[in-house]
Amino acid sequence: MQTTRSTVTTTVHTTGRNDTELSWQDLGACRGLDATIFYPDPDDEVGTDRALAVCEGCMVRESCLEHALAIREHTGIWGGATERDRRRILRRRRRSA
Ligand code: SF4
């Protein structure tokens, strides 16, 4: 099953945290935007750049990227990283572990 931003948010909201507590998802620059923006065709450079531009100014970019790496998110742009970027990061981390 593909994990989507909305299910991730729902999971975070139902895992015992205080309702008044904000999670990184609540603070993302993509909040309220059409999530399909973050799932461009891998060959769509314009679409990819558009999504990366949103991430560039996001204050929770690092948390978002670490989340995507932790759950091995295979699709979409998370934390300013494409699928290929995340594979590269994980490979680099495995080598240096
Ligand atoms: S880094 Fe990008 S995908 Fe992650 S929360 Fe921020 S804007 Fe959204």
d(CA 9, CA 26): 8
Examine residue 4 and state whether it is found in any structural domain, yes or no: no
Q: Do 39 and 47 touch, CB atoms closer than 8 A? A: no
Mean pLDDT (the chain) is 85
d(CA 97, CA 92): 9
Examine residue 91 and state whether it is found in any structural domain, yes or no: yes
The protein residue whose alpha carbon is closest to atom 3 in ligand 1 is 78
Residue 5 has pLDDT above 70, yes or no: no
The residue segments making up the domain with residue 50 are 23-96
Distance, CA 59 to ligand 1 centroid (Å)?
8
Distance, CA 31 to ligand 1 centroid (Å)?
8
Residue entry with tokens 């099953």? 1
Examine residue 3 and state whether it is found in any structural domain, yes or no: no
Residue entry with tokens 């934390």? 79
User: In the chain, how long is the greatest CA-to-CA distance?
Assistant: 41
Examine residue 6 and state whether it is found in any structural domain, yes or no: no
pLDDT tens figures, 41-61: 989 999 999 999 999 999 999
Examine residue 90 and state whether it is found in any structural domain, yes or no: yes
Examine residue 75 and state whether it is found in any structural domain, yes or no: yes
Examine residue 77 and state whether it is found in any structural domain, yes or no: yes
Examine residue 8 and state whether it is found in any structural domain, yes or no: no
Distance, CA 10 to ligand 1 centroid (Å)?
16
- Report residue 20's pLDDT band, with 50, 70 and 90 as the boundaries: low
Number of folded domains in the chain?
Answer: 1
